[in-house]
Amino acid sequence: MLKCDKFHGGICFMLVSSRKIAQSASLKGLLNDRCDLWTNNYLLRKKRLKQHREIAGWGRKASFFRAQRYAAQYGLDCICLEDGFIRSLGLGKAGYPALSLVMDRRGIYFDALQTSDLEQLIAQMQQHDAPRALSAIATIKSYGITKYNQKFEAFHAALFAGQKNILVVDQTFGDQSIHYAGARPATFQYMLQQALQDHPDAVIWVKTHPDVLAGRAQGHFQAQDLQHPRIQTLTANYNPFALLQAMDEVYVVSSQLGFEALLCEKTVHCFGVPWYAAWGLTDDQHAPLHILKGRRQQARSLAQLFDCAYLQYARYVSPITGQPCTLEQILAILIPNIQAQTTLPSALQAYGFSRWKREFIRAYLAFPQTQVRFHCFLKPKKTQQIVAWGKKAKALKAQGYSKVCTVEDGFIRSLGLGAALIRPYALVFDELGIYYDATQPSSLEQQLNQAQLDAAQLQRARALIATIKQTGISKYNVGQNKSLLRPATSQRVLLVIGQVDDDLSVQLGGVDIKTNLSLLQQVRQDHPDAYIIYKPHPDVHAGLRKGQLSDNIVLQYANCIELFASIIDCFKICDEIHTISSLTGFEALLRGVTVCCYGLPFYAGWGLTHDRHVCQRRQRQLSLEELVYITLIDYSVYNLPVADHMCIPRVGVEQVIDYLQQERLNPIARKKSWLAKLFTTMRRLRIGKLN
């Protein structure tokens, strides 16, 4: 058993004093499910006392004092649990699970009446990882990552322009951190009056807690307290970092917003003793420092406080693996979700989605304050924001619907075929067009035309390319992994990629060649002396889509047909890839293979491929890193089913690749419903008749 003073990196075994704590997914992840609920059953309790030497409660609530009593009675170590400083995508009181926790043996960070593990970390710090701390601070400020990363309202900077602005931070009534910071409810009145006195020429903005704005708690100020002509109340729910940038100084009792203000380099006046006070960074002349009894005598830098609190003291749980992870990994997961929240409307109408697609579409859009309504037959109003799949989206636009976002499968999709009803881990949402439709602009094409990447983004793209090559990841990740022998010939080896003949990517991405047979005939005509390998589309070969060619017809133009090897193994034995508009061409580019395009796929026309046709809208040369970053990171949207229970709708491409790798190593049993099996069988029969 590892002692709890080795929380940071160790696994502990723990009793907890309430059922709610025992059911916490975050705590189970940190403890590897090694936590048991304290029970009044004597025999069961005696058994568990032999297995455990720690008992935990929450904050300074009843569960903690209950744990404290049990610890004293039975000789156990008592541990205090609390939410971390970067907690979740939405409010805890709205049901969003915590992504970070703190576990404290000595006290708890907000209790200044006694020391805590965090206070000791700060006081005893000899050295710290300044580059890591400063990098994390920059990321947090850049993306506005705070404790509760809910959907914030658009910030109106004009309200604060041309004047001096002072922020007074309210908190929820009864918040434990107020009493344990040496303050009382009356302290808030005193703080407000002091701000008015200190800044006679300023506007005093009173900010309420997010729980108060959401109607889930009560604050400390009544309407009559805020009647002064220079006092303004902030009723809008702004991102704290956007708000803090508009402020000159900040007044707090014990709010975590005070530390975020320090991150923004603002002067912070403390009227209680929060964990970041009395280290030489805050104005503490109104704080009851006597409760510290001589502690916190050292001066510390902002990076040192951040290192101790966010990197060493707080512990993080990955919503993907359910296991401990780093702050940087949590930030990487939160960033795409925060970005999505800024663009998603409060209401979306989903039109024409089949029943099996509805569940995963709902998961991709499961953000706080975003409602999704599905329509089967009745069409939404033309003024509403609509999401629709492929052909249905195009049909709506043709009927005059202007607010339609087209949804399609992404580029690193799944371990298995979409036509076999395998859930996608990647989708694209395009409000302008769609990436495979070369007849009109798309959001991807627009982003590629405007791409201006910094060094960090280019490095991320290079790392992603290396990971994809190393892992052999592709769109569907199907086919047998086997070593193919290059044909014993001096001829150039060309790989011709079959597609689904009636697929929109062929009909809208093709120009003069729009069938597999036409492509084969053209490649043989252009390269009469080459050795040609034909690989049909997996859906077509599986009998699920249209486009099957008989072997006799194929072998009139190709030297051989490859049915079973993975596309990655095929790349290793060929000199060139020839395609109309298949994503395989993009996958080949990542692996340094020459690609010849007979249509206008999204990756053509940027100077990276040999193109039969020219698209005048594509006006610049791109590097492979730029193409990969915009396509796989900026444009694509990723979701994993394992993250749903932690209320995380979006993840990064790197997490999807890791997940696919785990699926390959430990295949998950895919149990289809009888309806899905019937649908697949009927589809094969229908396609067989069409072919």
Nearest to 404, CA basis, from 420, 381, 378: 381
Q: Quick check: helix, strand or coil at residue 86?
A: coil
Q: Quick check: helix, strand or coil at residue 438?
A: coil
Residue 149 corresponds to which tokens in the numbers above? Answer: 């990363």
Residue 13 corresponds to which tokens in the numbers above? Answer: 């075994």
Nearest to 549, CA basis, from 509, 482, 499: 499
Give the phi and the psi of residue 187 in degrees, each rounded to 5.
Answer: -60, -30
Nearest to 57, CA basis, from 2, 112, 100, 104: 104
Angle at the Cα of 588 from the Cα atoms of 585 and 593, rounded to 5 degrees? 115
Angle at the Cα of 122 from the Cα atoms of 121 and 125, rounded to 5 degrees? 75
The type of residue at 157 is: A
Residue 344 corresponds to which tokens in the numbers above? Answer: 């998603």
Give the phi and the psi of residue 672 in degrees, each rounded to 5.
Answer: -90, 145
CA distance 99 to 81: 13
- The set of residues, in sequence order, having a beta carbon less than 8 Å from that of 164 and lying 6+ positions away, is 199, 201, 202, 203, 248
* Residue reference for tokens 């579409």: 361
Q: How many helices (H) and strands (E) does the chain have?
A: 26, 24
Orientation of helix 327-343 relative to helix 130-143, angle to 10°: 10
Query: What is the dihedral sign for C-alpha 302, 303, 307, 308?
Result: negative
Backbone φ/ψ region at 118: left (φ over 0), alpha (ψ -120 to 50), beta: alpha
pTM (2 decimals)?
0.84
For residue 133, what is the enclosing H or E element? helix 130-143
How many CB atoms sit inside 10 A of residue 585's CB?
24
The type of residue at 412 is: I
Rounded to the nearest 10°, the torsion over CA 538, 541, 542, 545 is: 80
Angle at the Cα of 223 from the Cα atoms of 220 and 227, rounded to 5 degrees? 115
Residue 128 corresponds to which tokens in the numbers above? Answer: 């710290």
For residues 17 and 27, the answer to whether their CB atoms sit within 8 Å is: no
Q: Check residue 9 and give its pLDDT.
A: 37
CA distance 327 to 30: 14
Q: Check residue 634 and give its pLDDT.
A: 95
Residue 493 corresponds to which tokens in the numbers above? Answer: 């080896």
CA separation, residue 282 to residues 41, 119, 645 (Å): 50, 16, 39
For residues 279 and 305, the answer to whether their CB atoms sit within 8 Å is: yes
CA distance 449 to 132: 34
Rounded to the nearest 10°, the torsion over CA 334, 142, 312, 93 is: -50
For residues 407 and 388, the answer to whether their CB atoms sit within 8 Å is: yes
Task: Give the pLDDT confidence of 319-337 residue by residue, as tens digits.
Answer: 988 889 999 999 999 999 9
The type of residue at 262 is: L
Rounded to the nearest 10°, the torsion over CA 309, 310, 316, 318 is: 180
Q: Check residue 676 and give its pLDDT.
A: 52
Q: Check residue 7 and give its pLDDT.
A: 40
CA separation, residue 301 to residues 59, 249, 362 (Å): 27, 19, 45
First-to-final CA distance of the chain: 64
Task: Give the pLDDT confidence of 275-318 residue by residue, as tens digits.
Answer: 999 999 999 999 999 999 999 999 999 999 999 999 999 999 99
CA distance 503 to 522: 20
Residue 186 corresponds to which tokens in the numbers above? Answer: 């009356």
- The set of residues, in sequence order, having a beta carbon less than 8 Å from that of 342 and lying 6+ positions away, is 151
- Low-confidence residues of the chain: pLDDT under 70: 1-13, 32-52, 213, 419, 479, 542, 544-547, 667-691
For residues 517 and 553, the answer to whether their CB atoms sit within 8 Å is: yes
Give the phi and the psi of residue 606 in degrees, each rounded to 5.
Answer: -115, 10
Q: Is 73 exposed, middle or buried (0-12, 13-18, 19+ CB in 10 A)?
A: exposed
Helix residue ranges per DSSP H, 144-280: 176-179, 185-198, 210-213, 240-245, 257-263
* Residue reference for tokens 């699970």: 97
CA distance 663 to 670: 11
